Structure 1
Amino acid sequence: MPARRGVAAVPSEAAGVRGTSAAFSVTVLVPGRVRADIDAVIASAPGVVVCYADEADEADARDQRRITLDADSGSTLAWLTSALRARLGADLLQTEDPVFTVASTGKLTQSLCASVTTGHDLALFDAEADRRVIRYLSVHPNHTDRVTGRPRRIALLTDASAVLDFEPLAAEAALPAVESQAAHLHRATGLDVIPMPVDAHEPADLARLVGMLAPGFAAMVLVHTHVRRIDAVRAAMLAAARPTSPLLLDSINDGLAVAATAAILNHLRAHGIEPARARVAIVDPGRGGDLAGLVVGAGVRQVTLYDPVLYGVQPLHGLAADLDLIVDLIGLARPPDGVAVLRTRPELPPPLDSASLGPRPLHALPGLLQAAVTMRRPITPAARLAAVRALTMQTPPGMLLPPLDLPRLTPAVAAAAVEALSARE
């Protein structure tokens, strides 16, 4: 493997390279002699571009260079790709888009847990072997988790009703986002997370699918699903009164709301404000699931639930002088001056590398999922509050939340939630 060297080449008026993103990137394979041409294209770019160049292999007579260029926006990327093709020509330029290259891998895959090397190994996968286990389960139905892989298997469901900031999509169009969530949850928990977009037009359809799929999974997690539909699914499951309800988590109540509550507490603590005396307004609270309940449960006694559709924005400006914090779930175009604003939009989470500055579902969801699977119990409000406390304890000074790559983050949240769930015994 050639050594990798990061070289920033940006217009002189650019403020820096932080505005670029791998989401707007192109990789080119070119002869080393045209590197100066690439630098000239970058220098005239309409936005910020950062160049990461691989060193050429000395043994490679062709002197090929693989170069990745990160841009600051889709428009800059489109200009960059067009300009490179115009300057170098198709015969010299080979391009690939890393975003689509990664997406086409599916981002995670299955692996065999048992050996299939010998004929004896293969016989353990045969019908007679299966018949023995199934006969055992027919007599001991409560032992399924002991003799199958179900305890490791998680269904990641979406009806594509709230995928980032898109309008409702066809279910298959949600796959890239669900596959990314599955990869993140697998990386954090080690569980086998299966991305499953489903064509469910009504919440009742989604609730039936959850019940139908439940026998094969330790838990279900609803992601990229509108909070109203999440609430309707949970209500339908309660109304169905099943003897054993499937474990169901979601990225709003068990993710975003928990992380946002922790960020609120950390902000108040950083400014020397006791939660019991804090004055917090939550703008468009319906988007936050149980956020308001968690905030009150965490000790904040003065919480204003502000509906911008009903009241408009101007009255919020009038309230600003009496507030310590505004939690913005809708994306206010012009928030009031003089009061801190925590932007907590479910559709637009902060970038992974700056997640310590704003809440993401991944702060809490992996640990709560681990706790639910370990205890085989649904997540309760007490478990969510325990996760809030764990997040605040793991947050370094000067930050709103812990970095997502903090090694002890998921274990700390899981341990706190397990202790809360165990207290019910």
Structure 2
Amino acid sequence: MLSRGQGGAERPAPNPAYSVRIHIPPDADAIVESVLADAPGTVARRADEPDVTGARRITLDADGPHTLAWLTRTLARRLGADLLHAQDPVFTAASTGKLTLRVCAATSTGHDVALLDADADRRVVSHLAAHPEQIDRYTGRGHRVALISDASAVLGFEELPADAVLPALESQAVHLRRATGLDVFPLPVATPDVTDIARAVRILAPGFAAAVLVHTRLDRVTVTHAALGPTPPVLLLDTINDGLAPATAAATVNALVNRGLNPLSARVIVVDPAAGGDLAGLLIACGIADLTLFDPFTHSADALHTIADGADLIVDLTAFATPPPGVPVLRARPDTPPAFGATTTGPRPLHALPGLLTAATATRRPITGHARVAAVYALIENTPRNALLPPTDQPGLTAVVAAAATRALDNDPDPDRG
């Protein structure tokens, strides 16, 4: 793979989210090279082996939308008829739907198919009507997860129509499926009324072991949890309290330890704590007693400078805080997680959520504060030296977080608390 960019100055890294894939004849390589030499930003080039005709496919990753737009225009103009085919990999991936169902039951013979017929179903349904405690044993519900969003908090956009969240919801479903092995179904709900989210959860509950609220405003998540009460009809998690908050708490502790500071005596400031869900409680549970919660919407930047002077760390959930010089900042904006290649330097919901979801579905118990704290310590213990967090694809990460959370749930004297 080659990276190209004008001049010797440091430039942003290429990002596969801004890519174009082209198909060219063998004698067009030189034109592509000349285009890359003139690119206004950084471009990474990956070429497949030539086919039998000598033509090849080349993927070009730009560093952002402006470089990609220039690249697409220039390649079309310079290559002309030599541009055999061009596609945008982002939209190609999105058009697949990203995941699908698979048939688990045997269907290769007539006898197999007969086991899926009405008479067979009638026997199982009759049995489950008399023994409802065995529903998870004789259905797929035990490993089925509903991924629910009302499209009110999608990657920094203003509130969107419900179907517009599908690309982000499908991506999240793929990530959770890969990490947990559970069957995850993306389910956008169209409602202007926050109470309808709880109603949707109740309606869907009979078919799922768990539901996860994602790309939904935190205030709506909170209202939904409250509306469903301490014993919801289905195990209910969300990407802030069960994802971002534990990951950010672990990154906070690691950031202090990496600087040789004792978290028990460190002074930490959280900017916009309302966006962090259970974050403040997790930080206190991890021993950070000197904790200041700063609301940037009611206080000025000057006020932050005043209270942050001499602080050991600022945890910024807005991405806009400007601390005094010399005060380290951990940025953890809920709607803008870091790229997957940078997950050792910033928190993503996928650090903790897959493990907590696995623990909840395995134990059939709701996630508690104790389980989240256990997830925080599991992340801390599995973080590479001098990093803030383990990479989200670190082998065994989901399993160790799930094991820690499961032990906490088994030992929790009050499973409804938390």
Tell me how far 1:270 sits from its aligned partner. Answer: 1.2
Question: Which residue is 1:7 aligned to?
Answer: 2
Deviations 1:159-195 (A, max 9, x none): 0111111111111111111111100000000000001
Amino acid at match of 2:17: A
**For 2:91, what is the secondary structure of its paired residue?**
helix
Tell me how far 1:202 sits from its aligned partner. Answer: 1.9
1:179 equivalent among 152, 163, 170: 170
Question: Which residue is 1:21 aligned to?
Answer: 15
Following superposition of structure 1 onto structure 2, how do residues 219-368 of structure 1 map, counting pairs within 5 Å?
219-238=210-229, 245-332=233-320, 334-368=322-356
Amino acid at match of 2:238: D
Tell me how far 1:271 sits from its aligned partner. Answer: 1.6
Question: Which residue is 1:74 aligned to?
Answer: 65
Tell me how far 1:14 sits from its aligned partner. Answer: 4.9
Following superposition of structure 1 onto structure 2, how do residues 402-413 of structure 1 map, counting pairs within 5 Å?
402-413=390-401
1:48 equivalent among 35, 39, 42: 42
CA distance in 2, matches of 1:298, 1:321: 23
Question: Which residue is 1:137 aligned to?
Answer: 128
**For 2:78, what is the secondary structure of its paired residue?**
helix
CA distance in 1, matches of 2:236, 2:81: 51
Deviations 1:184-224 (A, max 9, x none): 00000000000111112222000100011000000000011
CA distance in 2, matches of 1:327, 1:92: 48
Unaligned stretches of 5+ residues in structure 1: 1-5
* 1:154/1:219 contact within 8 Å kept: yes
* 1:9/1:39 contact within 8 Å kept: no
Unaligned stretches of 5+ residues in structure 2: 414-418
* 1:85/1:93 contact within 8 Å kept: no
Q: How many pairs are equivalent?
A: 413
* 1:31/1:65 contact within 8 Å kept: yes
Question: Which residue is 1:205 aligned to?
Answer: 196
**For 2:136, what is the secondary structure of its paired residue?**
helix
* 2:246/2:279 contact within 8 Å kept: yes
Following superposition of structure 1 onto structure 2, how do residues 108-119 of structure 1 map, counting pairs within 5 Å?
108-119=99-110
Q: Percent identity?
A: 54
Deviations 1:350-396 (A, max 9, x none): 00011010000000000000000011010000000000000000001
* 2:301/2:321 contact within 8 Å kept: no
Deviations 1:197-256 (A, max 9, x none): 111222200010001100000000001111111001011111xx76x6311000000000
Amino acid at match of 2:341: D
Query: Which runs of structure 1 show a deviation greater than 2 angstroms over 4 or more consecutive aligned residues?
Result: 6-16, 90-93, 333-336
Tell me how far 1:55 sits from its aligned partner. Answer: 2.1
**For 1:358, what is the secondary structure of its paired residue?**
coil
Q: Give the RMSD, CA atoms, in angstroms.
A: 1.3
Compute the TM-score of the two structures, normalised by the length of structure 2. Answer: 0.96
Question: Which residue is 1:33 aligned to?
Answer: 27
Question: Which residue is 2:373 aligned to?
Answer: 385
CA distance in 2, matches of 1:306, 1:330: 11
CA distance in 2, matches of 1:316, 1:253: 25
CA distance in 1, matches of 2:82, 2:61: 23
CA distance in 2, matches of 1:273, 1:8: 39
CA distance in 1, matches of 2:399, 2:358: 8
* 2:4/2:43 contact within 8 Å kept: yes
Amino acid at match of 1:324: D
* 2:25/2:82 contact within 8 Å kept: no
Amino acid at match of 1:261: A
Tell me how far 1:267 sits from its aligned partner. Answer: 1.0
